[in-house]
Amino acid sequence: MPQVRRKLRRSLKTAARNLRGLAKVISALVSTDHPLLAHVIPIRRCNLACKYCNEYDDFSKPVPTEVMFRRVDKLAQLGTSVITISGGEPLLHPALDEIIARIRHRGIVAGMITNGYLLVPERIERLNRAGLEWLQISIDNVVPDEVSKKSLKVLDKKLSMLAEHAEFHVNINSVVGGGVHNPQDALAIGKRALELGFSSTVGIIHDGQGQLEPLGEEERRVYHEMKSLEKRSFTRINAFQENIALGQPNQWRCRAGARYLYICEDGLVHYCSQQRGYPAIPLDKYTVEDIRREYLTEKSCAPHCTVSCVHQVSIFDAWRAPQRPAPLASEADGLVQIR
């Protein structure tokens, strides 16, 4: 009987998520003056040390809860549709549940990216009660190695816990390229995700600046086989990856700084996790004028970018508002063009 009730709650929450998602899509098409997705960092510290990652340290303290509340409120004021909590490892923040609840209270979709190591049934139930709507775990290999400990062998029990207890959507992202030794691991991870009732996506590991690293022949074969498994994916807007897999640039209009915001632990707005430092304006001072400026600003790093969340958000405006090159620092209040 408890399982029947849980399935019913899941179904109702899925229907509600889909309706809210449709409303956000309509809002995105109607107005370009608000962010569609913001990544916020409540803590830079992580309990792992994956060699390819440049988004963590092993010493940072959590951002104070009241500061996080103010940032959520500011993003709500800007009209943000979705907030994804990331890190570091967000589950290390002692007030994570309260932050998620604040996001939901402000009418914003709440998501999270985690390495999954700290998940236990009680923790998953707390995330349910806080109102988390989707969660993503990236798994890099089947067996841990010197590059990454985010392996299926270590995390499979955590995935089973999620399948049993989670009332939010779960996506499992596997990767090819970069330092991944066995491309076939991505297939094993993706198939296990689908077996548990989750969605599955595949990403291409980028370098330290989020730039393209072409795939080898075997990696491309695995990548395309993985794409055939993505029918249940919640992020299927990823045609840009076809060029990345071939080592070719993409011609697109990156709307980072406008439709997508990356808010670091210091509360500064950046283009993305791989271009921290631009425009580096405090969130509490960010305005619609800043959104409009960055919406129309061409980013020179865009052709070889592999940061999928920015690509996916920018697709809403691919057909409108041509961009212009960023002005040099001497021309516009310290704004610099990314080189």
Query: What span, in angstroms and rounded, lies between the C-alpha atoms of 63 and 44?
Result: 9
C-beta neighbour count of 322 within 10 angstroms: 7
**Local structure of 280: helix, strand or coil:** strand
Query: What span, in angstroms and rounded, lies between the C-alpha atoms of 306 and 310?
Result: 9
- The C-alpha angle 291, 169, 180, rounded to 5 degrees, equals 80
- SS3 for 136-153 is EEEECECCCCCCCCCEHH
Domain of residue 220, residue span: 2-331
Strands in the chain per DSSP E: 37-40, 82-85, 109-114, 134-139, 169-176, 199-204, 260-263, 268-270, 279-282, 297-298, 324-325
Domain membership of residue 339 (yes or no) is: no
Residue tagged 């425009």 (tokens): 279
What are the 10-residue block averages of pLDDT along the chain, 339 residues in total?
Answer: 74 84 87 97 95 88 98 98 97 98 97 97 98 95 89 97 96 78 88 94 64 68 74 56 78 96 98 93 98 96 88 92 76 43
Sorted by sequence, the CB contacts under 8 Å of residue 329 that are 6+ apart come out as 335, 336
Query: What span, in angstroms and rounded, lies between the C-alpha atoms of 113 and 78?
Result: 23
Percent composition of the chain: helix, strand, coil (DSSP 3-state, to 5): 40, 15, 45
pLDDT of 336 reads 43
240 and 204 Cβ atoms separated by less than 8 Å: no
pLDDT of 178 reads 60
CATH of the domain at 244: 3.20.20.70
In degrees to the nearest 10, what's the CA dihedral of 297, 298, 304, 305?
10
pLDDT of 237 reads 54
Domain membership of residue 338 (yes or no) is: no
Please tell me what DSSP assigns to residue 326: P
Domain membership of residue 336 (yes or no) is: no
Distances in whole angstroms, Cα of residue 149 to Cα of each of 110, 153, 155, 203, 276: 26, 9, 9, 17, 25
pLDDT of 326 reads 80
Query: What span, in angstroms and rounded, lies between the C-alpha atoms of 65 and 44?
Result: 14
What is the DSSP secondary-structure string of 105-131?
HTT-EEEEEE-STT--HHHHHHHHHHT
- Count how many domains the chain has: 1
Query: What span, in angstroms and rounded, lies between the C-alpha atoms of 77 and 267?
Result: 15
Do β-strands 134-139 and 109-114 pair in parallel, antiparallel, or remain unpaired?
Answer: parallel
Domain membership of residue 121 (yes or no) is: yes
Query: What span, in angstroms and rounded, lies between the C-alpha atoms of 41 and 264?
Result: 5
Do β-strands 297-298 and 134-139 pair in parallel, antiparallel, or remain unpaired?
Answer: unpaired
